[in-house]
Chain A
Amino acid sequence: MKILTVCGMGVGSSIILKMNVEKALRSLGVTADVEVADIGTARGAAAGADLVVTSGELAPQLGELKAKIVVIDNLVNVDLIARALEAALSEAR
């Protein structure tokens, strides 16, 4: 599985998001590659992704994607991220 985390610049919040998504996946026992993209390159990078994780502020700017978009508003709360990912993964199955 491939998961893409997206922020505006690809240097700040997406890095925190990537690390916390990885932590959340470990707690769920899910293995996945997690990559980072900025909003400018996200559409292309999302082509091969199963899930795209981003904030509520940026999600509308991504437009329509084939991958499911998971919206996270608190990037430092690993438990909330795990719950959102769990819900998205069970839907995708």
Chain B
Amino acid sequence: MPDKLSLLGLLPEQSVLVNASARDWRTAIRLAGEGLILGGAATAAYSDEMIATVEQLGPYIVIAPGLALAHSRPSPAVRRTGLSWVSLQEPVHFGHRDNDPVRLVVGLAATDHNQHTAALGSLAQLLGAPERMEELLTAPDAATVRHLIGNFDPEVPS
């Protein structure tokens, strides 16, 4: 069993959706919200909160080329810290100057500012290598995504 707060521990198989179709960024975020709901991390209201975050602050959640980290702040709509994963069949535009179009949306629900730090560090390392991102984006199913993540051994911060 992976550590409960590790990347794999926070991303159960039911929260991983591959080759999804989304017609726009709001739909893509809703799919990430569905994953958080299915994993027991958030309620439906959190999807609205993630969308409102982008409406208020802009598409800054697109943190790297092709990658959006959909999230809002800790709120009553967050049941526990968790992640979701949505790879898109057709990329979607979020309106980001440099990093559009988005091919992968990772949803984050956080109960506080710290619990998920290590998992986010692993996620950043995992997706920091373009070839690994490519391999994950072409994974045919949720089990393969989790298997690839499980094989990844993040360097321990010194």
Contacts and interface: CB of A to CB of B under 8 A. Distances in A.
Given A74-B99, A76-B128, A16 B69 contact: yes
Chain B interface residue count: which class? 20 to 34
Contact of A16 (B63, B73, B98): B63
B157 A19 contact: yes
Contacts of B116: 11, 15
Contacts of A9: 53, 71-73
B117 interface: yes
A45 interface: no
Given A19-B121, A76-B63, A11 B110 contact: yes
Interface residues of A, number: 28
Contact of A19 (B63, B65, B110, B124): B124
A24 B71 CA distance: 25
Contact of A78 (B72, B117, B128): B128
B145 to A, nearest CB: 17
Interface string A11-37: 111011001101100100000000010
